Chain A
Amino acid sequence: MNDATSFAPALRTPTRSFQDMILALHDFWSAQGCVILQPYDMRMGAGTFHTATTLRALGPEPWNAAFVQPCRRPTDGRYGENPNRLQHYYQYQVILKPSPPNIQELYLQSLAVIGIDPLAHDIRFVEDDWESPTLGAWGLGWEVWCDGMEVTQFTYFQQMGGFDCKPVAGELTYGLERLAMYIQGVDNVYDLAFNSAGVSYGDVFLENERQMSKWNFVVADTEGLFDLFAKAEAECRNALAAGVPIAAYEQAVEASHVFNLLQARGVISVQERASYMGRVRDLARSSCEAYAEKMTPEWEAKFPGWSLV
C-alpha cells in the first residue's frame, strides 16, 4: 500500500472551518444525487446566473446540481472595513428539478449537517418572492431565518427567460459567509476560520477586498468599461445570430457585470440606468429564449406531449 491509497480525509468540522462547511454541504447534496459543479468561470452578481441554474431551469429534463458560486457586487465593496459587507463573496446553490416533495426536509437536514440544531435555533420560513426582470424570471418562496438572520433564499422557479418552468425547479441559495459567521459565532467576516489550520477568511480575502473596492469605485477605466459593454453586447448578438445561445448567454452575463462596474464607478445617470438595464435584459432574455427554442425539438422528442409554451 502506498501513501496515496492510505489517505483518509479528516473528519469534517463545519462549525469551525469555512471550507469544511462547504465540503459538508457538498457531501450532503452529493448524497442526494446532485451533480457537484465547480463555480462558473465568469464574474457574476449571483449564483442564479450560473447556466446550471438559469439555462437548466428551462426544459422538461430532471436536473439536480449543487455548486459554490463566487458573487461580485461592486457597489457593496467597503474596502475591507465593514464586518458584514463584501464586494466578493460566496453563494452555495442547489437546484433540484423537478422540486422534490421533501425539499424543505432536505434543506433542514443540510442545516443539521453543518451544525444547526433546529431545537436550539429558531428556523423560520418567511415569505420572500424572487424576481429577476433581467432574466425574465420569477418564483415564490421564502427567506429562511435562523434566529432572525436570513441564511438562505428558497425559491420555486415559476418562470425563466419568460417561459413557464415545466416542471418547476426548487432553488436554494445559502449565504455562506453569514451562515459560517453564525455557526462559528464570529461577528466579523474576516475573523472566520477558513480552515482548521489557522487560516482566516481575512488572510485569504482582506487585501483582495481593499484593492478590489478601490478598483471598483475609483480606478477602473470607465471608457474601457463602456467599450467592454458594447463589445459584449455585440458579441452576444453575433453568437445569437450564429445559433450558439450558450455563448450568447455568457456575453449577457459579462455585459451585466460590466454594467454593475459602471454603476459602482458612478458614471451612469439615473436616466441612463434604465436604458442600460433594458439592454442587459434584452441580451439575457434573448439568449434564454434562443437556448430554449434550440433545445425544444430535443426536449419534445424525449418528453412526448411537452411543449415550450
Chain B
Amino acid sequence: MADFLLELRSEEIPARMQAGARAELEKLFVRELAAAGVAADSITVWSTPRRLALIARGLPLATQAVSEEAKGPPEGAPDAAIDGFCKKNGVTRDQLELRDVKGRMTYFAVVNTPGRAMADVLSAAVPAIIRDFSWPKSMRWGAASLSTGSLRWVRPLSGIIALFDGEVVACEVDGIAAGRETYGHRFHSAGAISIAGADDYAEKLRAAHVIVDQEERAAIIRDGAAKAAAEAGLVLVEDEGLVVENAGLTEWPVPLLGRFDEAFLEVPPEVIQLTARVNQKYFVCQDSAGKLANAFICTANIAASDPAVVVDGNRKVLAARLSDARFFWEQDQKTLLGGHAKKLSRITFHEKLGTVADKVERVAKLARWLCEEGIVVADPALAEQAARLCKADLVTEMVGEFPELQGLMGGYYARAEGLPGEVADAIRDHYKPVGQGDEVPTAPVTVAVSLADKLDTLFAFFGIGELPTGSKDPFALRRAAIAVIRLIDANSARCLISAVARAWANDGTTGPGLQVEDFLHDRLGVMMRDNNVRYDIVQASTNLGTQLDGDVWRVRRRAEALQAFITTEDGTNLLAGYKRAANILKKEGHSVTPAEAGASGGSAQTPEMPAFAGMTGGAGITLEGLGYTPDPAEAALIAALGEAAPKAAEAIEAEDFAAAMAALATLRTPIDNFFEQVTVNDPDPAKRAARLALLGSFRDAVHRVADFSRIEG
C-alpha cells in the first residue's frame, strides 16, 4: 500500500469554481482507479487559488491480475463466426480453448491480464484527468495555442506534481512534465519547493505561506473576522458565502478590520452591506444594539509589512464606493417616486405586453379591486397608491447599480418623502415571497399589491400564450403562482381566480383566468405533494360538483381533510365502495361523471360558484317513494344517505371539511353491506332503476365533498 499526491498548479482559479473543481478532480480520479479495478482507502482534495491537490491513501502497488473468459461459438461453427469471436476478444484462433458445454464442444477465449504497476496506471490516469476535466469556462494560452487543439484549462496550467510512494509518476501533458517541484505563496516565498510525497506536502506549503486546505483557510477567516470585530467592540455580520469566497481568493488569509467615515451611515445599511460584499468582498459589523457599524473586514492574502497600509488602501476604495452610493441616494431623492414612476413608460416590460408603466397601471387597478371586493381587507386608495409607486425605484440610480435592492430602495424613498408607512412597506415588500424560505407578507396593503402584481404577471403571460414548458420558465411564472398560493393561504385572501381575471380583463370575459386557475391548481398539487398530500388528492379537491373550485384557499383545506380521511380505514373502504358504484353507473350509462364534465372544459365556461343551495344530498330518495319493500341493506343505505348527505352538504357549506368527511364515513358500512347483500341488476326493472338511482345519489353525495373519481387506488 502506498500514497499518491497530485498537484495541478495554475494561475488564479476563480473562487466560485473551486468547490466544483475539487469534486471534478475526485470524480475523475475515482473513475481512473475504477477502470484499473482499484480503490483508495481515502481521498482528500484541496484547492487554493493557484492549485488543485489530491491525496489518495492506501493504493495498492500494482493492480490485480485479471483472468477473463468469454464463451464463443460451438465447434464446427462457420469460420466467420469464430474469427469474429477471436477478434472481439483479441486472441488468435490457436489460443482458443474447447470445453464441453452440456454435451457440446464450445470455444472459449481466456484472456489473462497481468497486474499493472500502480505507477503505470497513474501515469496514464493523470493526463486523462487533465484532458477530461470539465470547467465552467476554460481557455487556451501561450505558444501552443497557435493551434486550437491545444490544452484547455481554467487559466494557464503551470505545473504538475505526481508522486506515488514518493516517486515521480512519469507523465506529461502538453509539454508540462510531472515532477516534485511546486511554488509557495506568490509574494512570501521565492523559488521552487521540493515535495517528498503525500506526507510532507501540506506542511512544506505551510512553511511557504500556503494553507492548502480550504477548510482551514475558511476557519481562519471566519474566526479571525469574528475576533477582529470583537476586539473593536463589535459583532461580525456572519456571511458564510463570503467566508468561502475569501478562502478561494487567498492562500494565506489575514482578516483585517478597518473603519469608514461614519457619515456614510446615513445611506441605508443594506446598501452599505451590499457594496462592501459584492464589490469588495468585505464583511460588515454591527454594534451591540444590532445597528450597522462603520467598520469593514477585508481578507488580505499577505502578512503585510504594515497592515495599516493595506487597511487604509481598502478604506479608500470602500469610501469611493460609498460616496457613489451616497451620491445615488441623494440624487434619487431629488425626484419624488411619482416622478420616477413616469419614466417607467420608457422601459419595455415585454414586447407584447407594453411598458412597465402599462403593467403598473394594471396592477394598480387590480390591487384597488382586490380591496374593494374585500378579498384583501385594506384601504383601496392606499393599495392603489402603493401599486402605482411600487416599480418606481427600477429607474433610480441606486437600483440601476444594485438591482437586488429593488423594492427595498423604493420603500426607503417612500418613507423619506413622507408617504404613509403602509405604502412604504408595501413598496418595499411587494416582491415577496420570492423563494421557498422567504417570508410571506401579511400587512394588508402589501398583500394587495403583491397579489395584484403576481396575478397580473400570470394573467398577462398566459394571455399571450407564454406558458412555462418543461424546464423552461423564462418569466418565472411557476414562482409567481407559488407566491400567489402562499399569499392567499397565509392571508385567507378568498377569491375565485376566474372572478379576479374577469376584473383584470375588464372586457366581460374571464380572459386567461381559467387557464391560470388550472395552473394554480397544478402548482398547489406540487406544493402539497411536498407536504405529503398526494397529487391526485389535490386534483380530487379542485372539483365542486361539476365545477372547478377557483378558490385556492378552499381547495387546499379540502385536500388536507381528504388526505387525512382517505388514509383511514373508513376512507379506504368508502373509496372502494364509491368506485364500485361509479363503475356500475358508468356501465349503465347513468350520466357522465363530474370529473369528465370538468375535464371537457365545456362546463367550466361558467366561472361562478356552483350553487350549494338545492344540492341537499340524497334526500331525493325515500323509502316511501319506492314501489316495493327494499332489502334491509338497501333500506339501511337509504336511511344513512338521508342522514349523511345533508350533513355533508352543510359541512361543505360551512367549509368544515373534516366534518364533511366524517359524515361520509358513516356511509362506509351501509355501502359495504349494500354491495354484499343487494343485487343491483334485479330482473324487476323498477327495482333495478331504484337501486341505480340510489347508487347515483350516493355518488352525488360523495362528489359534493370531493371528486373521488380522481383519487387513485
Chain A residues within 8 Å of B, Cβ to Cβ: 60, 84, 98-101, 104, 108, 117-127, 129, 139-142, 146-149, 156, 158, 164-168, 170, 182, 187, 269-271, 303, 306
Chosen A-B contacts, 15 in total, with CB atoms closer than 8 Å, are A84-B320, A126-B249, A127-B14, A140-B137, A142-B12, A147-B313, A147-B314, A148-B313, A156-B156, A164-B148, A166-B147, A167-B146, A168-B145, A170-B141, A271-B348
A166 and B148 contacting across the interface, CB-CB below 8 Å: yes
- Of the listed stretches B300-308, B483-491, B496-504, chain A binds B300-308
With the chains together, A88 CA to B50 CA distance in Å?
36
Residue of B nearest to A170 (CB): B141
Residue of A nearest to B298 (CB): A148
Chain A residues closer than 8 Å to B348, beta-carbon distance: 270-271
B295-324 interface with A by 8 A CB criterion: 298, 300-302, 304-306, 309-310, 312-314, 316-318, 320
Q: How large is the interface on B (under 10, 10 to 19, 20 to 34, 35 or more residues)?
A: 35 or more
Interface centre among B144, B301, B346 (most CB of A within 10 A): B301
Instruction: Flag B98-142 by CB within 8 Å of A: 1 or 0 each.
Output: 000000000000000000000000000000000000000101111
Q: How far is the CB of B228 from chain A (nearest CB, A)?
A: 15
Residue B186, interface by CB 8 Å: yes
With the chains together, A168 CA to B317 CA distance in Å?
32
B145 and A166 contacting across the interface, CB-CB below 8 Å: yes
With the chains together, A98 CA to B156 CA distance in Å?
13
Residue B347, interface by CB 8 Å: yes
Chain A residues closer than 8 Å to B346, beta-carbon distance: 269-270
With the chains together, A10 CA to B208 CA distance in Å?
39
With the chains together, A120 CA to B301 CA distance in Å?
11
Q: Decide: A167 near B143, CB < 8 A? Known: A118-B302, A148-B280.
A: yes
Residue B11, interface by CB 8 Å: yes
Within the complex, which residue of A121, A129, A170 is in contact with B313, where a contact is CB–CB below 8 Å? Answer: A121
Q: How far is the CB of B51 from chain A (nearest CB, A)?
A: 14
A125 and B12 contacting across the interface, CB-CB below 8 Å: yes
Q: Which 6 A-B pairs have the closest CB atoms?
A: A147-B313, A127-B14, A125-B12, A148-B314, A167-B145, A168-B145
A118 and B186 contacting across the interface, CB-CB below 8 Å: yes
Residue B628, interface by CB 8 Å: no
Q: Decide: A101 near B317, CB < 8 A? Known: A124-B249, A148-B298.
A: no
With the chains together, A125 CA to B145 CA distance in Å?
22
Residue of B nearest to A102 (CB): B158
B17-60 interface with A by 8 A CB criterion: 49
Residue of A nearest to B148 (CB): A164
Q: How far is the CB of A185 from chain B (nearest CB, A)?
A: 9
Chain B residues within 8 Å of A, Cβ to Cβ: 11-12, 14-16, 49, 137, 139-148, 154-156, 158, 186-188, 249-250, 280, 282, 298, 300-302, 304-306, 309-310, 312-314, 316-318, 320, 346-348
A120 and B304 contacting across the interface, CB-CB below 8 Å: yes
Chain B residues closer than 8 Å to A166, beta-carbon distance: 145-148
Chain B residues closer than 8 Å to A306, beta-carbon distance: 146
Q: How far is the CB of A183 from chain B (nearest CB, A)?
A: 11
Q: How far is the CB of A142 from chain B (nearest CB, A)?
A: 6
Q: How far is the CB of B258 from chain A (nearest CB, A)?
A: 10
B145 and A121 contacting across the interface, CB-CB below 8 Å: no
With the chains together, A217 CA to B147 CA distance in Å?
47
A120 and B314 contacting across the interface, CB-CB below 8 Å: no
B305 and A158 contacting across the interface, CB-CB below 8 Å: no
B147 and A118 contacting across the interface, CB-CB below 8 Å: no
Chain B residues closer than 8 Å to A60, beta-carbon distance: 146
Chain A residues closer than 8 Å to B140, beta-carbon distance: 156, 158, 165, 167-168
Within the complex, which residue of A119, A121, A303 is in contact with B146, where a contact is CB–CB below 8 Å? Answer: A303
Chain A residues closer than 8 Å to B280, beta-carbon distance: 148
With the chains together, A92 CA to B144 CA distance in Å?
27
With the chains together, A167 CA to B302 CA distance in Å?
34
With the chains together, A124 CA to B313 CA distance in Å?
13
Residue of B nearest to A271 (CB): B348
With the chains together, A123 CA to B139 CA distance in Å?
23
15 new A-B contacts, CB < 8 A, other than A101-B158, A158-B139, are: A60-B146, A98-B141, A99-B156, A118-B186, A118-B187, A119-B187, A121-B313, A125-B11, A126-B15, A129-B137, A140-B137, A140-B154, A148-B318, A167-B142, A182-B313
Residue of A nearest to B12 (CB): A125
A125 and B49 contacting across the interface, CB-CB below 8 Å: yes
